[in-house]
Structure 1
Amino acid sequence: MSTTVQETALPAPPAAEAAEAAEPAEAAEPADPPQAHPAPPRLRWLLLAVVTGASFLDSLDVNIVTVVLPAVQRDLGADFATAQWTLAGYALAFSLSLITGGRLGDIHGRKRVFLAGVAGFTLASAACGFAPNAELLVAARLVQGVAAALMVPQVMSVIVTLFRPKEWPVAFAVLGAALTLGSVGGPLLGGLLTGLDLFGLGWRAIFLVNLPLGLLITGLGAGLLPENRHEGPPRLDLPGVALLTAAAFGLMYPLVQGREQGWPAWMLLPALAAPVLFLLFARHQRRRHARDGSALVPPPLFARRSFAAGLAVTLLAFTGIGSLALVLTYHLQYGLGWSVLRTALATAAWPVGIAVTFQIAWRHGTRRGRLFVGAGAAVMAAGSLLLTAAVRSAGAGLSWWQVAGAELVVGFGMGLCSPVLASVVLSEVPPQDSGAGSGVVNAVTQFGSAVGVAVVGAIFLAVTGGVAADAPDRIDRFCSATGATLWYNAGAFALTAALSRFLPGPARRPEDLADPSQGALA
């Protein structure tokens, strides 16, 4: 399972909910925000089901894919780079389009953009399910990522707009339950659908299962969702999107395709261009913000060192989180010959572990977020080391319970860390910048997952050297390669735990957040 923040962690609590958690029970009920237009009681809970259904689709689709990637690769006769792009391409497209998707909702109306995203996601799912070759599958996955970036940002806006503040905790709890269900059910459903080979569809059923739910959400949303948008002038930073996309692709392409193509000399060009493009993007953002305040990534966010340090911690953590299951799945299915369903049952222990501990973090981590992030990352590192030891020592005799036990530990750690990480990073950002900051954190989360998949894929291929299926030392080489990549994951988590000390300390009073001098590291 490739677990990313929007699949496993609840959104950061709205300011009203955080304040409610910090105050005594008899505190005054928060007033409705001036932009809120609560729907009639029965209708708004139906609307909640509509928008959380879209988040569930996104969560399910990410988590359902990883466990069947070896089957996809075999069926399409594709290379390992295709498998990486199938997973990382979605995360990359999502990360690069996420902030723009939120802005488009403000400009063109959240209902319109939400429905466009759901419809695009549904059509792209059909394209994935019927893809005749690897190239079209990867292209459809990229479209899926862009479409998800249109629909997911609107979910929070719909909840905050249609529900009264006193109802936000329940609404976000429902959303969290939907995300958790997608995380836990994704690997199991993927293994089951592929193993049953319904109507001879095999792995294609994991994408086609999205169609009925996508059509239902589109129909209900079109008929029931009210339209709302930001009243300010349209401000969309298309040059910023272009620069950031080019820089990210320049970084990712050599990592994924380099070894497959024999590292030709021209492959260095995009790698060398990427840092330059990132610098040009930063310069463009400063100018755009100074001109009309419409920068894709507002530079004032980085005036608080805690935010910049928090982004670095988030990026590092999710390079490990987003990539851990990819190579493990290949090890179990290609290296050891496990079935898709057996792999799914073992790796499902990870989201089960998340489900066990994330409520603890969600309820008690608001004011002790730095502690929860550090402790959770340390537990994930320990789980990765357990998995490394099991792979190395057991070899061909690796058992289901060894994999499930180690993945359960990783899940425990992620459940402690992930639900509060965004809240910690944003804790010193002023309320007026929280929307932009949240978009940046979520985009960095997705980008970290994509980079992690590329990095561990490069390590894995470098160690295996493209081992043949009938090679006598195949299992030994797979064990060596998988162990090496798991060392990367353990190191990323351990470094995350070490760097968590640079995150903000206990939450400050709201009046403190208005003073930029309070942005120094705690």
Structure 2
Amino acid sequence: MTQTSAPPIGVPAKSPLGPVALTTLLFGAFLPMLSFFIINVALPAIGTDLQATPGELQLVVGSYGIANATLLVVGGRLGDGFGRKRLFMVGLIGFTVTSLLCAIAPTIGVLLAARVLQGATAAAMTPQVLASISSLLTGEHRARALAMFGVVGGAAAALGQILGGVLVEADVFGLGWRAVFLVNVPVGLFAVVAAVKLLPETRADKAQRVDVVGAALLALTLVLLLLPLTEGRPLGWPLWTWLSLAAVVPALALLGLHQHRAEKAQRAPLIPPTVLRLKAMRIGLLLAMAFFTTFGGFMFVFALATQGEAGMSPLEGGLSLLPMAVGFLITSVYGPRLQARYGAGLIVRDWLIQAIGYAVLAVVALALWPDVTPWTLAVPMLIAGFGSGLVMVPLMGVVIGQVPPAQAGLGSGILLTSQQTCLALGAATVGTAYLSLSGTSWGQGGALAAVALAITAISLLMTPVTRQLQ
């Protein structure tokens, strides 16, 4: 059953991944993203139950993102060498088990440790999704699957907070917030059975050794950056946070030097400089950084704001994101055909649509706060969701399309590392800015509006950058 990673020439008459197999594979993208965002709406309940500080609650989000981002490229490399189905199965089983550990955590410390393990297992699973799509599919099948991958991530983000609100509000069997982790268990078990029966095995023709030193330097850089940004504000910015941030630059320079030397010596660097020198890859990663940082930050602060001064229940806060999920659903239907028609130009248009959505949200927040409801937020959230979905869909294809199929795991690892790093960075930086502003005369409504306007400005700034892809 083992196939090489080189796809057949032309569009195959029948896709090697049938609908059920592709759906099973996409669970590897859906579950980790769902787990990243479903927790947002449950944070107030976790804080109350486990007596967690605001900084610890930020770490519930950030620790998962740091562990995941650190190991994604390693996961992609291991899949290329040892088999993508094999690594997918290892990651999926581990993710299911660690989700259960999160659900039964008796203290905030145990929960944080389980979240680190959960992020690590997700890093073994998720890169195999894009890598398998790239190595097994070509032509229209591949384009549609990549579009679905992008939409699945966005839909998981919006649906995660809706589902989280439903589960926390329903308090099934008195589980409260623990249900947001337990929901992964039956889905994970189903996906494991389906994967064993349906997924074909693929691997790179020539296995490459994992760059352990590069992985360690990447982990060090991310921890030095994200940990002080997450913990600095609640701790009053002690000296170690500034020293840690200052150390990011030399750590990053050391990582770059090591990658350059490894490639020059014809070893396999974790992130090959030649891949990053591709123009479309550089631009695509810049756009991905802008998008995922702002998106991750917004989803974090939106949950805090709606359940704060706005006085919404977890269910109402989650339902406020339903229009955004609808926007992603529309994207999944029409996105691939729009992408085929407009190409990279589609991303330019959709940055503008996203900017309009967040600008209208800022106006609504300033005009109606704290008397906002899911209904009054519906129009801006729908517009923002539609624009966001159509930014993500072509971005995935642009970046992963620059990497040869034999290195599909590497390309997906680089893209997903950028994604997860920026989601965690967004929760840390945007969350810190929001929490700082909300404690002033701005209040939570003014702070939410400021975040929305900042995303509007960034969206507009990305339009001339996107035009360079054309």
The answer, yes or no, to whether TM exceeds 0.5 is: yes
Match of 2:395 among 416, 421, 429: 421
CA distance, structure 2, for counterparts of residue 89 and residue 334 of structure 1: 24
* Corresponding residue number in structure 2 for 1:276: 250
> What is the CA-CA distance between 1:316 and the residue it aligns to?
1.5
* Corresponding residue number in structure 1 for 2:206: 232
Q: Do 2:328 and 2:389's aligned partners in 1 also have CA atoms closer than 8 Å?
A: yes
CA distance, structure 2, for counterparts of residue 149 and residue 405 of structure 1: 35
Match of 1:321 among 281, 295, 300: 295
Change (3 A) 1:258 1:185: closer
Q: Which runs of 5+ in 1 are unaligned?
A: 1-13, 18-27, 468-472, 506-522
CA distance, structure 1, for counterparts of residue 410 and residue 81 of structure 2: 15
Q: Do 2:69 and 2:416's aligned partners in 1 also have CA atoms closer than 8 Å?
A: yes
* Corresponding residue number in structure 2 for 1:377: 351
Change (3 A) 1:162 1:413: closer
> What is the CA-CA distance between 1:296 and the residue it aligns to?
0.9
| Structure 2 residue matching 1:123: 3-state secondary structure | helix
> What is the CA-CA distance between 1:104 and the residue it aligns to?
1.0
> What is the CA-CA distance between 1:433 and the residue it aligns to?
6.1
CA distance, structure 2, for counterparts of residue 457 and residue 184 of structure 1: 18
Q: Do 2:147 and 2:335's aligned partners in 1 also have CA atoms closer than 8 Å?
A: no
* Corresponding residue number in structure 1 for 2:327: 353
* Corresponding residue number in structure 2 for 1:5: none
* Corresponding residue number in structure 2 for 1:203: 177
Change (3 A) 1:110 1:432: closer
Q: Do 2:362 and 2:453's aligned partners in 1 also have CA atoms closer than 8 Å?
A: yes
* Corresponding residue number in structure 2 for 1:480: 446
Are 1:100 and 2:65 counterparts? no
Judge which range, 161-170 or 194-203, deviates more: 161-170
* Corresponding residue number in structure 1 for 2:269: 295
* Corresponding residue number in structure 2 for 1:499: 465
Change (3 A) 1:493 1:211: same
* Counterpart mapping for 1:11-160 below 5 A: 29-30=10-11, 47-159=21-133
> What is the CA-CA distance between 1:442 and the residue it aligns to?
2.5
> What is the CA-CA distance between 1:227 and the residue it aligns to?
4.6
Which amino acid counterpart does residue 504 of structure 1 have in structure 2? L
* Corresponding residue number in structure 2 for 1:519: none
Residue deviations 1:53-112, cap 9 Å, x none? 333323432342222222222222222222322223323322221111111112233233
CA distance, structure 2, for counterparts of residue 157 and residue 313 of structure 1: 21
* Corresponding residue number in structure 2 for 1:463: 437
Change (3 A) 1:404 1:15: farther
Change (3 A) 1:181 1:455: closer
Change (3 A) 1:159 1:314: closer
Q: Do 1:459 and 1:484's aligned partners in 2 also have CA atoms closer than 8 Å?
A: no
CA distance, structure 2, for counterparts of residue 340 and residue 411 of structure 1: 20
CA distance, structure 1, for counterparts of residue 336 and residue 40 of structure 2: 27
| Structure 1 residue matching 2:268: 3-state secondary structure | coil
**Percent of pairs identical after alignment?**
33
* Corresponding residue number in structure 2 for 1:490: 456
* Corresponding residue number in structure 2 for 1:8: none
TM-score normalized by the length of structure 2: 0.89
* Corresponding residue number in structure 2 for 1:11: none
Judge which range, 346-355 or 87-96, deviates more: 87-96
Equivalenced residue count is 466
Change (3 A) 1:351 1:104: same
Instruction: Tell which has more relative contact order, 1 or 2 (C-alpha 8 A, sep 6+).
Output: 2
- For the aligned residue pairs, the C-alpha RMSD in angstroms reads 3.1
* Corresponding residue number in structure 2 for 1:190: 164
> What is the CA-CA distance between 1:199 and the residue it aligns to?
0.6
CA distance, structure 2, for counterparts of residue 461 and residue 59 of structure 1: 24
CA distance, structure 1, for counterparts of residue 438 and residue 449 of structure 2: 11
* Corresponding residue number in structure 1 for 2:229: 255
Change (3 A) 1:333 1:167: closer
Which amino acid counterpart does residue 73 of structure 1 have in structure 2? G
Residue deviations 1:450-469, cap 9 Å, x none? 1111111111222234x8xx
> What is the CA-CA distance between 1:150 and the residue it aligns to?
0.7
Residue deviations 1:314-339, cap 9 Å, x none? 21122111111211211110222210
Change (3 A) 1:292 1:84: same
| Structure 2 residue matching 1:263: 3-state secondary structure | coil
CA distance, structure 1, for counterparts of residue 399 and residue 138 of structure 2: 26
Change (3 A) 1:197 1:275: same
Which amino acid counterpart does residue 355 of structure 2 have in structure 1? A
Change (3 A) 1:102 1:275: same
